[in-house]
Amino acid sequence: MSVAKLVPAWLHGIGDYGAGLALIIVALIAGGTDEAVLTGVVLGAILLAVSLVTRYPLGAVKAVPFPVHSAGDYLGALLLILAPFALDFTDTDGGLAAFYIVVGAVVLLLSLVTDYQDPRITVGEAAHERQQPQFDDASRGRTPTAAHMGSTSGRVRTRR
């Protein structure tokens, strides 16, 4: 859910990869308690993995629909903001805690202004779905229908 559809999917993808890499790199360079470092590494790795399998311009596998990805954005932002308090490293690792809270807020704001229904994504999904052959009931999955093959001969299944 977005309050404003200002950010296109490709720009959101850049933000996803940037945030994921920043979380991992900053956590490893800054160091700190295990809880603080692992928070950045684990959440950063999850963000990168989800981005790789999201059906948007920068996704590699394109398995997760972009609107479903949005739920992960909100959850990840919430986890980044709450983790320093829940894991109690705000005093021992104040710098990392502040960094995670800021990144969580940025992810939340980016999510609130992203166009998850970007027409370029919808068109891409429709094209992806059209590539899958459709089978008629009689053939039980052995051959595509005549309509799919572009032929007018044979039995054509009409959609109502």
- Per-residue DSSP letters for 84-144? HHHTT-TTTTHHHHHHHHHHHHHHHHHHHTB-TT-HHHHHHHHHHHHTSPPB-TTTTTSSB
64-65 and 54-55 strand pairing: parallel
Tens-binned pLDDT, residue by residue, of the chain (160 aa)? 778 889 999 999 999 999 999 999 999 999 999 999 999 999 999 999 999 999 999 999 999 999 899 999 999 999 999 999 999 999 999 999 999 999 999 999 999 999 988 766 654 444 444 445 455 555 455 555 544 445 454 455 555 5
